[in-house]
Structure formats: structure tokens, C-alpha cells
Structure 1
Amino acid sequence: MSPQIILASASPRRSELLKQIGVRHRVVSVDIDEAPLPHEAPDAYVARVAAEKSEACRLVDRSGLPILAADTSVILDGRILGKPEDLQHAIEMLSRLSGRTHQVFSAVSLRGDRHWQALSVSEVRFRPLSHQEIVAYWQTGEPCDKAGAYAIQGLASTFIESMAGSFSGVMGLPLFETAQLLAQQGITILP
């Protein structure tokens, strides 16, 4: 069957989440500068990056299909925690998250006949983590390319004491908000 949308992301997690809700899609990865602007608020940052991804994809994909993009960031004390650069950076991030509650902002951008956006904000509380656990977790390879140096759907699920919000949003694509945006474009999940 032909795709309903273009997913402007190389993230296998986002693709799997779309498959989970039955949205047929084709992946077109785009490369943009994801550095935060000076003094940029976390919600504005994820919304801007998601919109820039969908726009960059629109410029290279001429299929005419709606384009979906997303961006997810881990926020602690009002600061964006990006992806870890190395073991030391992961230790620093996970040590800061240890025993604390942080937020995960996940923005979705959909470009069709118009541009729509949505934002999901979730709260995640980590149990206290030991230095040895953090190093062992890094050595699994799982946190290497993840915002905040963890994957909620993987081994880090054992770190999470509680969560309020969107599990799929913490993974990288909030499905509730995504389904609402797709409906705006006439793509329904359920008949």
C-alpha cells in the first residue's frame, strides 16, 4: 500500500510508533542545525526544530504527501539536556536526573495544505542512580543517541519511578497529538 505521509526523521522509534497506530509512511531524513538559540525557551526550541525539519523535508520531497516531523528534549531546571557526546557527558546528565523529576517536551509539526503544530509535555521521575549503574547503562549503547541520555522504552525503564504525561511523547512522538494533527489533514487512525 502507498504511504499516507512522509516522516521527516531517521528515528526508528518514530517510525515504529507510526506503524503501531497504522499510519503508512515513507521516511525521508533531513539534516538541520539543532542547536538551541541563545535564551530560547524549551517549548519554543522543540517547536522550532520540529517545524524546521518538516520545512527542510518539504523542500526536498516533491511527492505532495503531508510531512510529519518531531523533536523531543529532556528539560531539567529549565535547561535543555541534549544527546550525550561521550561517557562523561552521559554520567553528568544521568547524575543530574538521578532522584529528580524532569520534563520531556515533544513537539510535532505536520505540513500539508497548511502547517499544524502540537506540543506534549510529560514529567518523569527517576529513582536514585549509582555511578556504577550509569556507567553500565552507557556501555549497553542505548543512551548514546538519546535526549537526556536515556530511552524510556529500553533498559532505562527500570530507572523511572513515576511518569505523568505521554509515554510515546517521551519516546519521541506523542501519538495523541500526532493523531489529532493527522485528523486535521484528513488522515484518521480508526475508521
Structure 2
Amino acid sequence: MKLVLASNSPRRRQLLSDLGLAYTVRLQEVDESFPPHLRRAEVAEYLAAHKAAAYRAGLAPDEVVLTADTIVCLDEDVLNKPADEAEAIRMLQRLQGRTHDVFTGVCLLGGDGRQVVFSDQTRVTFRELSLSEIEHYVSQHQPLDKAGAYGAQDWIGMVAVTRLEGSYFNVMGLPVHRVWEELSRLTGASLLAD
């Protein structure tokens, strides 16, 4: 089995490398809009499967493509990547002092047609933040490529996250425990290097 990561995320690349999995990166543009009736985990799973479908025709029979999408949900609102610094500040103002949910949807699509789609949920609580702390984070760490305008592994994760229920790695963008389990099941082989 040859693993193909269809993601430009340095965090996902690092997590797969830390698992000891060999992979290649293959990228193509995919529309990330979703039907408005979808809610929470459904959005993340839909987007992961939608991304994988774009790779279906180019997969060899011995390849498995991994696609993922992470979203932040505050109540029923989906907070994706902010368009600019002003939107990032507004998102973080909404998140501060509250608990929100992070969902990462994952799709594993084999060149042989087998497919697994799943998601993982983590609840994250932020302490109350001052506007100057939020502005500092946005200007210094440029979180425009992150759902909800933050990365738990960044400065804001160290100073703002007071509670985390679920997988920390899920908040980083990949529920590696589930990826390992589902890849093992899908391939029917050990993922451990000999």
C-alpha cells in the first residue's frame, strides 16, 4: 500500500511522519463549499470525502489517498479559515471565554475503490482573552490558514486553552489514533515498519 496525502498542511505532514508512515504528497485545488443543511461533523466528513473524490481517477490500485478537513464549531456555527486578519480577530473574540468543538473529517480512498470516511470530535475551552492578546496572536502568528483562526500548537494554545476533551492531535488537524486504526483495517496489513 502506498499512502498519498492530499494536503498542504505542514501539521498533517508532521503527524504522519511522527507515526512513521511513508507517504507522498499530491495536491490539487478542490472547492471547499458544502451544502448549508449539513451540521457539525457532517460538514467535516462531507468535505473530506469531496476532496478524495477529486483524486479517484488518478489513483493506482495499490494507492490510498488520505484527505482531511478540520472545522471549528461554536454552537451550530461553522468557523472555517478566516478570510483576513479582521475576520480572524472576530472569530477569536467569539471563541474566547467559551467551549467549542473541533471536528476533523477524514477520508481514506483506495485505488481499488474501497473507502472509509470518519470524523473525530474534541471539545476545547478558551479562557477569557483581552483584545490585545487576540491582536498579538493574529499579527504574530498569522492563523489565516487555520479553521477557527487558531492553532492549538501555537502561542494561543499555550495561553488560552484551559481544557481539552478528546484528541489534541485532532485539534491540530488529524486524529492520528483513528487514522492508524482505519488504515490498518483498510489495508489489512501491519503499518509497523519491519
Same fold at TM > 0.5 = yes
In structure 1, what is the Cα distance between the partners aligned to 2:189 and 2:129?
42
| Identical aligned residues as a percent | 39
SS at match of 1:181: helix
SS at match of 1:91: helix
Task: Give the unaligned 5+ runs of structure 2.
Answer: none
| Matching residue of 1:124 | 124
Question: Once the 2 structures are TM-superposed, how far is the Cα of residue 39 of structure 1 from its aligned partner?
Answer: 2.1
In structure 1, what is the Cα distance between the partners aligned to 2:55 and 2:28?
6
| Matching residue of 1:186 | 188
**Alpha carbons 2:141, 2:154 under 8 Å: kept:** no
In structure 2, what is the Cα distance between the partners aligned to 1:133 and 1:180?
39
Letter in 1 for 2:172: M
1:164 maps onto 2:165 in alignment: yes
In structure 2, what is the Cα distance between the partners aligned to 1:118 and 1:189?
19
Aligned length, in residue pairs = 189
In structure 1, what is the Cα distance between the partners aligned to 2:104 and 2:97?
22
Question: Once the 2 structures are TM-superposed, how far is the Cα of residue 186 of structure 1 from its aligned partner?
Answer: 2.8
Question: Once the 2 structures are TM-superposed, how far is the Cα of residue 61 of structure 1 from its aligned partner?
Answer: 4.1
In structure 2, what is the Cα distance between the partners aligned to 1:24 and 1:94?
36
CA 1:63–1:141 in 2, change beyond 3 Å: closer, same or farther?
A: farther
In structure 2, what is the Cα distance between the partners aligned to 1:142 and 1:18?
24
Task: Give the unaligned 5+ runs of structure 1.
Answer: none
Q: TM-score, normalised by structure 2?
A: 0.91
Residue pairs, 1:1-191, within 5 angstroms: 4-62=2-60, 64-112=62-110, 113=112, 114-157=114-157, 158-184=159-185, 185-190=187-192
Letter in 2 for 1:23: L
In structure 1, what is the Cα distance between the partners aligned to 2:120 and 2:133?
29
**Alpha carbons 2:102, 2:121 under 8 Å: kept:** yes
**Alpha carbons 1:21, 1:189 under 8 Å: kept:** no
CA 1:46–1:147 in 2, change beyond 3 Å: closer, same or farther?
A: same
**Alpha carbons 2:2, 2:62 under 8 Å: kept:** no
Letter in 2 for 1:128: E
**Alpha carbons 1:7, 1:69 under 8 Å: kept:** yes
C-alpha RMSD of the superposition: 1.6
Deviates further, 63-72 or 26-35: 63-72
Letter in 1 for 2:36: P
